[in-house]
Amino acid sequence: MESTYVILTSKPGVFRTEAGDGADIIETYDYVFYGRALAVFSIALLRREIKLVVTEETPPYVVNHVPSKFLEKFASVDAARKELAHLTRFGSMESALTLRSGAIAAEH
């Protein structure tokens, strides 16, 4: 499998997505919409097809194992960043996508 990148989504208080073995988190962003933290997005490098672990953060804490083959794939970190920017901007609505401090910002 050639290097591909995916965007992982977590919604604090609702669910979290973990990449696990076979993927490396490259960058993590906080998404705020009208002053409210709505999501955390991570760009991950897939080294192979994996199953992502999606865990609900409220009872009954259901855990799902989702094959990465269902995610949109990107050929570069930059392509994933562009898609993330596109997904989080809505005209003149107040939104912010902020790279977390200490996050890895690298081209692979």
Which domain range does residue 63 map to?
A: 4-100
Residue 106 belongs to a domain:
no
Using CA atoms, how far apart are residues 85 and 64, in angstroms rounded to an integer?
27
Q: Which pLDDT tens digits describe the chain residue by residue (108 residues)?
A: 577 999 999 999 999 999 889 999 999 999 998 889 999 999 999 999 999 999 999 999 999 999 999 999 999 999 999 999 998 887 778 888 999 976 554 444
Residue 41 in contact with residue 28, Cβ under 8 Å? Answer: yes
Residue 78 belongs to a domain:
yes
Residue 40 belongs to a domain:
yes
Residue 107 belongs to a domain:
no
Residue 105 belongs to a domain:
no
Residue 88 belongs to a domain:
yes
How many domains is the chain built from?
1
Residue 24 belongs to a domain:
yes
Residue 53 belongs to a domain:
yes
